[in-house]
Amino acid sequence: MGEAGVRAQHQDQADTVGGEEQGMRTQVAIIGAGPAGMFLAHLLHQQGIAAVVIERRDRAYVEGRVRAGVLEQVTVDLMRKLGLADRLEREGLVHGGTNLSLDGALFRIDMAALTGGSTVTVYGQQEVMRDLFDAAETRDLSILWNVDDVQLHDLDGDRPSVSWTERGVARRLDCEIVVGCDGFHGVCRASIPADVLQTFERVYPFGWLGILADVPPVDHELIYANHANGFALASMRSPTRSRYYIQCALDDDVGAWSDDRFWDELCVRLGPTLGERVTRGASFEKTIAPLRSFVAEPMRWGRLFLAGDAAHIVPPTGAKGMNLAVSDVTMLGEALAEFFIERSAAGIDGYSARALARVWKAERFSWWFTSITHRFPDMDGFSRRLQMAELDYIRTSPTAQKTLAENYVGLPLEAA
Ligand code: FAS
Ligand code: PHB
């Protein structure tokens, strides 16, 4: 259903005075149509809870962003539960292991063996968003695209609302709950009073230069490489499409990285054996992303709830970003079902603490995994040898490998 359909669907909920639309009503207003917002919209739809997604861009923009590549079991399970996993089952690449490399010396972590069979699935965020949006159209989920100037109102009461403009026309949505799924640069986190909100942050002194190229991956699994020149990651999107990253300076200019320069540096960092196996080709996407660890607490204020990047950011090393958004909305979806169906506030009252318990464990793992695989500008000989000792410990200790494996595949939603 296109935008007109959405508008028509809400017309019957609109209050009109003198024919001028004054606003709409729903139960849950979701700000942002990224993974957090769209998974939540599908979860609420499955529970029969009315929701409207309000997105400032259009579908093509959101679906076109090249971001996450690895799904934890939590995410795969949710896609199956929501009936969104048909293409994932056909096209997703199930990985039972991952690989670390230190100056070219490769070793494998058998995650499935170390975790009783847990795996990860390689399936790009773009594909996840396509599945979410296609199903949203089929299921008549309400999404308002291209909105401007979103503002939240009366969050500390029991009748919050959201206002925005669409092609210059002022609009308003009355609701009972607002969920901020508007990412790190959104407006929802900033709606929590400064004397309530606490933030915690680490900004890393480097970025990731990533490319996409239609060439076969160098290996059938991922490779995280620690090299004296810096970090590199060999990933993929399919057996014919590779996703590679190399650590770069924060002020690096992507225009200064020709494909040849990128391939040469990647092959150095992967080491001579793997480097010789790399298939080169023209990149069709090349970007630099900064790395940060960030958490905002609490993830709830009054009738406003935060989920995903609106509340937390992890360096992509641990492949946790999108998966954390999914675990947030899985918990929040349960809490909102209790609130609207069982009329119990226990779930929403416990949401922030429950979500943060898993968020901080993912923050710790992502920070640790970044710290042992990247070259820090201020590293001295001592810290470099500590890194090498830690990697050698992981290489030789099944206990150390089990710790890495259980965090990489994703910890359970609840701490045991
Ligand atoms: P998102 O940022 O995805 O979505 C927020 C949505 O809200 C957007 O559609 C935005 O347009 C909308 N919005 C913002 N402000 C608004 C407003 N005022 N009004 C209305 N709408 C508004 N994760 C991994 O696991 N692996 C990776 O390799 C990886 N790489 C990444 C690379 C980059 C460059 C970035 C930025 C992130 C990367 N991530 C990665 C993390 C990423 O996948 C996020 O964790 C994931 O997109 C989080 O989803 P959301 O919380 O939905 O936020
Ligand atoms: C990716 O394929 O984009 C990817 C995979 C694993 C990571 C980060 C990014 O840790």
Compute the residue count for the chain.
416
The two tokens of residue 67 are 């971001």
pTM above 0.85, yes or no: yes
For residues 36 and 292, is the Cβ–Cβ distance under 8 A? no
pLDDT in the model for residue 416: 52
Q: Which of 42, 45, 320, 374 is catalytic?
A: 320
Is 152 a pocket residue for ligand 2 (Cβ < 6 Å)?
A: no
CA-to-CA distance for 38 and 134, rounded, in angstroms? Answer: 11
State whether the Cα torsion 97-102-103-106 is positive or negative: negative
Q: In what order do the strands lie in the sheet with 142-144?
A: 142-144, 51-54, 28-31, 177-180, 304-306, 300-301
pLDDT in the model for residue 167: 86
* Closest protein CA for atom 5 of ligand 2: 69
For the domain made up of 3-69+123-200+293-368, give the CATH fold: FAD/NAD(P)-binding domain (3.50.50)
Q: Determine the residue of 233, 285, 404 to mutate for testing ligand 2's pocket, defined as the one with the most ligand atoms within 8 A of the Cβ atom.
A: 233
CA-to-CA distance for 248 and 288, rounded, in angstroms? Answer: 8
Cα-to-centroid distance, 355 and ligand 2 (Å): 23
pLDDT in the model for residue 415: 67
User: 95 catalytic, yes or no?
Assistant: yes
Q: Determine the residue of 322, 324, 359 to mutate for testing ligand 1's pocket, defined as the one with the most ligand atoms within 8 A of the Cβ atom.
A: 322
Q: Which residues contact 43 (CB under 8 A, 6 or more apart)?
A: 78, 82, 329, 330, 333
Q: In what order do the strands lie in the sheet with 93-95?
A: 70-71, 120-122, 93-95
Tell me the β-bridge partners of 143: 53
Site residues for ligand 1, CB cut-off 6 Å: 31-37, 54-57, 62, 67-69, 125, 147, 150, 181-183, 186-187, 289, 308-310, 316, 319-322, 325
Pairing, β 161-166 against β 169-174: antiparallel
3-class DSSP state for residue 214? coil
> Using one digit for the tens of pLDDT, what is the confidence trace for 252-284?
999 999 999 999 999 999 999 999 999 999 999
User: 361 catalytic, yes or no?
Assistant: no
Q: Which long-range contacts (CB under 8 A, 24 or more apart) does 106-109 make?
A: 106/223, 106/271, 106/273, 106/274, 107/395, 108/221, 109/394, 109/401, 109/404, 109/405, 109/408
Cα-to-centroid distance, 37 and ligand 1 (Å): 10
CA-to-CA distance for 13 and 221, rounded, in angstroms? Answer: 50
Query: What phi and psi, each to the nearest 5 degrees, are found at residue 296?
Result: -110, 130
Burial 11-44 (b: 16+ CB within 10 A, else e): eeeeeeeeeebebbbbbbbbbbbbbbbbbbbbbb
Q: Considering every ligand atom, which ligand is closest to the CA of 133?
A: 1
Q: Considering every ligand atom, which ligand is closest to the CA of 35?
A: 1
Cα-to-centroid distance, 135 and ligand 2 (Å): 25
Could you read off the pLDDT tens digit of each residue along the chain, which spans 416 residues? 344 334 433 433 444 333 344 579 999 999 999 999 999 999 999 999 999 999 999 999 999 999 999 999 999 999 999 999 999 999 999 999 999 999 999 999 999 999 999 999 999 999 999 999 999 999 999 999 999 999 999 999 999 999 999 988 999 999 999 999 999 999 999 999 999 999 999 999 999 999 999 999 999 999 999 999 999 999 999 999 999 999 999 999 999 999 999 999 999 999 999 999 999 999 999 999 999 999 999 999 999 999 999 999 999 999 999 999 999 999 999 999 999 999 999 999 999 999 999 999 999 999 999 999 999 999 999 999 999 999 999 999 999 999 999 999 999 988 65
* Closest protein CA for atom 24 of ligand 1: 68
CA-to-CA distance for 361 and 377, rounded, in angstroms? Answer: 26
Is 235 a pocket residue for ligand 2 (Cβ < 6 Å)?
A: yes
DSSP label at residue 104: T
Residue in the block written with tokens 């990860």: 120
Among candidate residues 376, 380, 353, 221, the one with its CA nearest the CA of residue 291: 376
Percent of the chain with pLDDT over 70: 94
pLDDT in the model for residue 8: 34
Among candidate residues 379, 369, 319, the one with its CA nearest the CA of residue 74: 319
Cα-to-centroid distance, 31 and ligand 1 (Å): 12
Q: Which residues contact 217 (CB under 8 A, 6 or more apart)?
A: 234, 235, 236, 239, 242
3-class DSSP state for residue 113? helix
Cα-to-centroid distance, 177 and ligand 1 (Å): 21
Is 319 a pocket residue for ligand 2 (Cβ < 6 Å)?
A: yes
CA-to-CA distance for 351 and 333, rounded, in angstroms? Answer: 10
For residues 190 and 71, is the Cβ–Cβ distance under 8 A? no
Segment (H or E) for 16: strand 15-17
Among candidate residues 154, 151, 186, the one with its CA nearest the CA of residue 32: 186
What residue spans define the domains of the chain? 3-69+123-200+293-368
Cα-to-centroid distance, 182 and ligand 1 (Å): 8
Helix residue ranges, H only, 47-153:
59-64, 73-81, 86-91, 111-114, 125-138
Q: Which of 204, 224, 244, 351 is catalytic?
A: 224
User: 61 catalytic, yes or no?
Assistant: no
Tell me the β-bridge partners of 101: 106, 225
Q: Considering every ligand atom, which ligand is closest to the CA of 123?
A: 2
Among candidate residues 137, 98, 100, the one with its CA nearest the CA of residue 115: 98
Q: Determine the residue of 67, 70, 98 to mutate for testing ligand 2's pocket, defined as the one with the most ligand atoms within 8 A of the Cβ atom.
A: 70
Amino acid at 304: L
